[in-house]
Amino acid sequence: MAVLEQVRHTRDGAGRAAEDIDVVLVDDHAVVRAGLRLVLENHGVRVVGEAGDLDGARVTVFEHQPDVLVLDLHLGPVTGLTLLDEMPELSPETSVVVLTMQNEAAFVKEALGAGARGYVLKDGAFEELTSAVSATAAGGHYVSPKLGARLAAADGSPHLSGRELEVLRLIALGFTNGEIAGRLFLSVRTVESHRANVQDKLGVKTRHELVQYALHQGLLPGPADGSG
């Protein structure tokens, strides 16, 4: 299903009764997990496990085989997309809802293209998460409604993949190619390739121009922003 079709049908499927849904929470902030657990359990959803890093997530998901995995897009220095890529082997019947601060269209497309069935922004998580869990557990899709216009507008903008946006963000934050490779578990050559692709797509040549683009797109966190 095309991304925009998923946005137009944010709740395709009747959903499932909350008491029939097992969920695993993966977020690197314990206070966020506690809040999400409280919201879900107050709606009758069973939270059967949680983890704060990639290794713990692998073990917890494999052990519990949940109906739904609620997954932060950024787990400290690594990306939740890594776990998303591994889900067909870890727990093939589990639906994934990405929970993140990242509201760029490319991240949404990247996550859905990698197999996520839901995409919820953290600033609307409490209102939307139970709907996303119910819809995806029933085999449907859920994308935060406020992302619809952004996805539509992205069709006329330079298309950067989610990985390219991650590399761009880290470049703008001052990391070297080697440091970016270490944080994203990529080779330096792969990072250099992503950087070259970004510069080509944006028609820029200098790091200063990359930083200005990142600032314009809101990729750099403000003083109170999270990293997930």
Residues 177-194: tens digit of each pLDDT: 999 999 888 899 999 999
Report the C-alpha gap between 72 and 60 in whole angstroms.
Answer: 15
Question: Could you give the CA distance from residue 211 to residue 217 in angstroms, rounded to a whole number?
Answer: 10
- Looking at residue 59, which CATH number applies to its domain? 3.40.50.2300
Label residue 63 by pLDDT band (50, 70, 90): very high
124 plus 182 within the same structural domain: no
Strands annotated E in 28-94: 46-51, 68-72, 74-75, 78-79
Same domain, 145 and 170: no
pTM over 0.85: no
One domain for residues 187 and 143: no
In a domain, 227, yes or no: no
Indicate the residue type of 67: D
Q: Which domain range does residue 202 map to?
A: 162-216
Look up residue 109 and give its two tokens.
């497309």
- Looking at residue 193, which CATH number applies to its domain? 1.10.10.10
pLDDT digits (tens, 9 = 90+) for 109-125: 888 888 999 999 888 77
Q: Is residue 82 part of a domain?
A: yes
Task: Give the residue-averaged pLDDT of 62-68.
Answer: 97
DSSP state of 9: T
Residue pair 188/167 in contact by the 8 Å Cβ criterion? no
How many domains, in total, are found in the chain? 2
Answer yes or no: is 109 within a domain. Answer: yes
